[in-house]
Amino acid sequence: MQKSASIKETSVSPYRAGLTCSCPRCGEGKLFSGYLKLAPRCEVCGLDYSFADSGDGPAVFVILLGGLVAVLAVLAVELIWRPPYWVHAVIGIPAVLVATLLPLRYLKSLLIALQYHHKAAEARLEKHK
């Protein structure tokens, strides 16, 4: 069930498509078939997702930003209440998991949508004649 080819290439905001984990071309189809596994193509417009390679970009952003938030939260708990170490483990481990796993899917989707929007591709060296 594919829509006609009259879909505009730039009709969908890459930020909207990225944050809703939807197709970067039509904005309606699902981008993922699992939590982080890309679907082979959009079930609505048929866009082939083989171009999408976000690499380690989402993980780097999540580690830096999510790790900062989690460490600051654990540090605040230590400075305010000074609990025993087991309380840090009970609070810190879920804080790290939530701060890293929750945004990972959305950042991956956002980077793929921006890659599509800007027509980013692998760099190629041309021989000079």
For the stretch 84-114, pLDDT in tens is: 999 999 988 988 899 899 999 999 999 999 9
**What is the pTM assigned to this prediction?**
0.82
Could you tell me the residue ranges of all domains in the chain? 14-117
* Predicted pLDDT of residue 4: 46
Rounded Cα distance, 33 and 90, in Å: 32
Give the mean pLDDT of the chain.
Answer: 88
Of 40, 13, 7, nearest to 114 (Cα)? 13
Asked if residue 8 has pLDDT above 70, the reply is no
Identify the helix (H) or strand (E) that includes residue 118.
none
- Please, which pLDDT band fits residue 82 given cuts at 50, 70 and 90? very high
CB 42 within 8 A of CB 33: no
104 and 62 in contact (C-beta within 8 Å)?
A: yes
Return the pLDDT at 129.
64
